[in-house]
Amino acid sequence: MNLDKNSNIDAQYYENLSFVERKSVVFFGVQSASLGDFSEVALNLNYSPIYVDNLELKKEVSPNESLGISQLQDFHFQLPTVISIVTPDAREKATAHASKLGFQNFPAFISPSAIISSNAVIENGVFVNTAAIVGQSAHVSRNSVINRAANIGHHVSIGEFTHIAPSACILGFTSIGDRVFIGANSTILNNIKIGSGAVIGAGAVVLHDVLAGQTVVGNPARVIKG
């Protein structure tokens, strides 16, 4: 597996931090319904999660025992930071918000139970959930999500801020654009092109290319929008 420079969560970047701080990870996005998945992966990696509220409101105290913006200290901004939101638009906005606040390091965050081929490329900010598979020569671009038990075939390319939902299956040589949402239990056959901003409904079986901005559902998949 090839990771972007500085994407390793144990990078030498943290050598001057205390042991406790080195074993912590910031989760930015406590309003996310998927936060439990991120926390589970952190615990499996023996990292202690620190939850930071992703809302724009500058609250003194945030819900769910998380930190508000005013409670952040300098060392928080040096920790590996994971955007714990999965939907493309919300994830992109949260990433921009975190960067504006001063968070700088967004490593790939990969479950130890995921299977990643040795020559797959995983860029910074990608979250690979429990039991996911990323095949030979696949390329997952920055800030995308490969959710629980999703199967990414060989030579598949996935654009930025794309969400692959649980148990989706993408077969070989398929190209997925930026900010695409691939629904749960959907199947995309070989050599398909999915344009940026497209939505693939849950359970859909995609036999043909999908244009940018289109929404498709069903088996076989048919266009209902765009």
Query: Is residue 136 predicted with pLDDT exceeding 70?
Result: yes
Domain ranges of the chain: 2-101, 109-225
> What would the pLDDT profile of 81-130 be if each residue is shown by its tens digit?
999 888 999 999 999 999 999 999 999 999 999 999 999 999 999 999 99
**Residues near 49 by beta carbon (within 8 Å), at least 6 away in sequence:** 24, 25, 26, 27, 38, 39, 42, 43
Give φ, ψ of 2 to 5 degrees: -105, 125
Confidence of residue 31 (pLDDT cuts 50, 70, 90): low
Q: What is the pLDDT of residue 39?
A: 86
Rounded to whole angstroms, the Cα distance separating 130 from 113 reads: 6
> What would the pLDDT profile of 35-71 be if each residue is shown by its tens digit?
788 888 988 888 888 888 766 555 444 445 678 777 8
Tokens encoding 46: 């023996």
Tally of CA atoms within 13 A in the half-sphere of 71 that contains its CB = 14
Rounded to whole angstroms, the Cα distance separating 31 from 100 reads: 19
Q: What is the pLDDT of residue 38?
A: 87
For the chain, give the DSSP string: -EE-TT--TT-GGGTTS-HHHHTEEEEE-TT-TTHHHHHHHHHHTT-EEEEE--SSS--SS-STTPBPGGG--GGGGGS-EEE---SHHHHHHHHHHHHHHT------EE-TTSEE-TT-EE-TT-EE-TT-EE-TT-EE-TT-EE-TT-EE-TT-EE-TT-EE-TT-EE-TT-EE-TT-EE-TT-EE-TT-EE-TT-EE-TT-EE-S-B-TT-EEETTTTEEEE-
> What would the pLDDT profile of 140-184 be if each residue is shown by its tens digit?
999 999 999 999 999 999 999 999 999 999 999 999 999 999 999
Query: Is residue 5 predicted with pLDDT exceeding 70?
Result: no
Q: What is the pLDDT of residue 86?
A: 87
**109-225 placed in CATH 3.40.50.300:** no
Q: What percent of the chain has pLDDT over 70?
A: 84
Q: What is the pLDDT of residue 6?
A: 41
Tell me the average pLDDT across 8-27.
Answer: 53
Q: What is the pLDDT of residue 4?
A: 57
Query: Is residue 198 predicted with pLDDT exceeding 70?
Result: yes
Mean pLDDT rounded to a whole number for the chain: 87
